[in-house]
Structure 1
Amino acid sequence: MALDQQSRYILDMIAAAGRPPLHTCTPQQARQSFDFRKLAGPPDDIARVENMAIPGPAGNLRVRVYTPDGEGPFPALVYCHGGGWVVGDLDTVDVPCRRLASRAACVVASVDYRLAPEHPFPAAAEDAYAAFQWLVENAGARHIDATRIAVGGDSAGGNLAAVVALMARDRVAPQPCFQVLLYPVTDGALDTASYRENADGYLLTRDSMVWFWNHYVSDADRMHPYASPLRAEHHRGLPPAFVVTAEFDPLRDEGEAYAHRLAAAGTPVECKRYDGTIHGFCWMPGVLDKGRQALDDTAAALRVAFQSDNRYR
């Protein structure tokens, strides 16, 4: 399928801005120029938003908690933003998190995990895991049902969400009831057909992914399953999943490969490819129809997953 007109508009707008390629920037420069908030559109109304500090592996960890209307106990989603483990923050995904909280009728806890290269692997993964376990342990005080807590994220955040599920299984700890993986990073090999087909010209480039990986993890740890979850020894005993991919995205094939790997291990999975669009489209629901559709499809999948007799069980 051809690139859709809305995605082409975004790419043309970025090209016209004349910013240097990401892989030529320092992390600090990249963070200053990394801002898609103007493309996110108006936020959904939400009953309450709280900025909190919770205990993390290396001190306090910032979390932004979105609570919908109602009395609870609510189901919940622990969400990790994208940005290649190097850029991005709570504001990057504020509008998507509000939309998911509102439309899935769940609490969303957005995690401000430590960024690389200042905090390399496995800092981000351990922060995400700690945030999930903290929410389980404190569910009652937050009017949350501890048996209905999912984990999710986009891109590098999707990587962290998948890794949280692996860590919880491996450590025999409370598991997420569901995982939402939006165009996730799952493998450090960078050798799929989608990496060749979409290496350049579609927002996320192969060079950018090399840059991200090199800042996040050493060569020795690159294929560690908590960095490359596709490389886990096995994928049995993991929670059901909703996996989103984009046609014109270097990460498309590894996201779909992870969905196939989960399914082969007996995990219920729904994998949906959004044709004609690009990496990061869920950050831009204000200008991309498919971004809005994907977030609403994710909210619908969460609603089903949070039901006791749902099709994912």
Structure 2
Amino acid sequence: MYDLIEGMAMTLTETLKGMIGLDPTSHADDDMKAVLEAFRSLKPKPIETCSVAEAREQPTLADAVRKLLTQAGHATRLPLEVEAVVTEDIKIPAGGDAAGTTATNAARVYTPAGEGPFPVILYFHGGGWVIADLDVYDATPRSLAAQSKAIVVSARYRQAPEHKLPAAHQDAFAAWHWLVENAARLGGDPLKLAVMGESAGANLAINVSIHARDTGLPPPIHQALIYPVASNNIVSISYEANRKAQPLNKKMMLWFVQNVINDERDLSSLLIDVVSADLSNLPPTVVVTAGIDPLRSDGERLAEKLRAAGVAVEHREYHGATHEFFGMAPVVQAARDAQAFVSLAQRQAFGGVPLESTG
């Protein structure tokens, strides 16, 4: 028996060694490849070779999607309701040391067409806690506001390395406090609040749920975690298989982590290593993972840990998609499918009648 296990381990090791030299995006869906090709045409520098200032100026996947939409054959494929979403830029209080001061963070409120009060979703964007902003991650909250028939509040947070761990998390907690108190003022139903995030933002989202549980705040009634950062394991199967993936690879993740942490002790923080935290009594959850993503194993393990803790979980993986695909619904079918999956779960959590599928 032990010989069999050892043999399987050696086979896995050899397989991973073979995969490390390959570009896993060669297995991407055709429409996903088109986005990656458009992205490469913008000539971004590898993030891990950049200073933070340079990294924040690099072309983004959102730029690549916009470029594709200017080309023949790439007409947008989104429900008409998305065009009817109204936005308002506001300021909300910052957290941590900034709490109780005049310090604020930017936020953008997305309101769907129709009569409220609407459910409200607090959304956190990705970017490794270092780069990106509300504009880069405009597509997801805009689309989900329409499809989930909910107000979406996309909340900015302080970024590293200027503000290291736990500044972003403190701002996320402050955003939840603020939303609990102000949902009705936004036209929302304070009894129907949910949380959602992508990548580093998904890490913030689940930490908000944990924070609400532990502090006695009204909890989210649902959480959607899109390719979450959920562990400190950088030698997982997906990290090794996606060493050379695009748009996110192992070297990039290490660059993000080094900018976020104060020292190596932070790697053991449960804010990062969420899979080691107490995950009991958290809201019903959907987890979305991409097949071509170093964070795939994080999402898979988090879904398993949540189920083991008694949380209702739906997990769906999109094998031919890469990290960051979720907001590419105008040009990527997997993104349309994933958004439909998430919005259906959100509408069911809110108790509304599901809309017809938007494909």
Q: TM-score band, normalised by the shorter chain?
A: over 0.9
1:259 Cα deviation (Å)? 0.8
The corresponding residue for 1:231 is 276
8 Å CA contact 1:92, 1:283 repeated in 2: no
What code does the residue aligned with 2:265 have? Answer: A
> Which of 23, 27, 30 is matched with 2:55 structurally?
30
Query: Within the alignment, does 1:53 sit opposite 2:91 as a pair?
Result: yes
Secondary structure of the residue aligned to 2:137 is helix
Provide the rounded CA distance (Å) in 2 between the counterparts of 1:2 and 1:255. Answer: 20
1:226 Cα deviation (Å)? 1.4
Provide the rounded CA distance (Å) in 1 between the counterparts of 2:206 and 2:85. Answer: 29
Query: Within the alignment, does 1:89 sit opposite 2:114 as a pair?
Result: no
Provide the rounded CA distance (Å) in 1 between the counterparts of 2:287 and 2:245. Answer: 24
The corresponding residue for 1:206 is 250
What code does the residue aligned with 2:53 have? Answer: Q
Where does structure 2 lack aligned partners over 5 or more consecutive residues? 1-25, 70-75, 355-359
Secondary structure of the residue aligned to 2:326 is helix
Provide the rounded CA distance (Å) in 1 between the counterparts of 2:200 and 2:127. Answer: 6
The corresponding residue for 2:295 is 251
Provide the rounded CA distance (Å) in 1 between the counterparts of 2:291 and 2:93. Answer: 39
Which stretch has the larger CA shift, 129-138 or 166-175?
Answer: 166-175
> Which of 160, 164, 180 is matched with 2:208 structurally?
164
Provide the rounded CA distance (Å) in 1 between the counterparts of 2:131 and 2:347. Answer: 30
- TM-score, L = length of structure 1: 0.93
Provide the rounded CA distance (Å) in 1 between the counterparts of 2:311 and 2:332. Answer: 31
> Which of 77, 80, 98 is matched with 2:121 structurally?
77
> Which of 129, 142, 145 is matched with 1:101 structurally?
145
**Over residues 24-73 of structure 1, what are the superposed CA-to-partner deviations in whole Å (9 max), with x where a residue is unaligned?**
10111111114233316668223421110122222112110011122222
Provide the rounded CA distance (Å) in 1 between the counterparts of 2:119 and 2:40. Answer: 41
The structure with the largest alpha-carbon Rg is: 2
Provide the rounded CA distance (Å) in 1 between the counterparts of 2:158 and 2:107. Answer: 12
Query: Within the alignment, does 1:151 sit opposite 2:198 as a pair?
Result: no
8 Å CA contact 2:45, 2:58 repeated in 1: no
Provide the rounded CA distance (Å) in 2 between the counterparts of 1:88 and 1:271. Answer: 26
8 Å CA contact 1:188, 1:213 repeated in 2: no
CA 35–15 in structure 1, closer or farther in 2 if over 3 Å, else same: closer
- TM-score, L = length of structure 2: 0.82
1:15 Cα deviation (Å)? 3.5
**Over residues 239-266 of structure 1, what are the superposed CA-to-partner deviations in whole Å (9 max), with x where a residue is unaligned?**
1101000011110011011011111111
Provide the rounded CA distance (Å) in 1 between the counterparts of 2:44 and 2:85. Answer: 38
The corresponding residue for 2:34 is 9
The corresponding residue for 2:7 is none
State the identity as a percent.
39
Moved over 6 A (4+): none
8 Å CA contact 2:123, 2:153 repeated in 1: yes
Provide the rounded CA distance (Å) in 2 between the counterparts of 1:91 and 1:98. Answer: 11
In proportion to residue count, which structure has more helix? 2
**Over residues 171-198 of structure 1, what are the superposed CA-to-partner deviations in whole Å (9 max), with x where a residue is unaligned?**
2222111111001110122121011111
Provide the rounded CA distance (Å) in 1 between the counterparts of 2:207 and 2:38. Answer: 34
Query: Within the alignment, does 1:119 sit opposite 2:144 as a pair?
Result: no
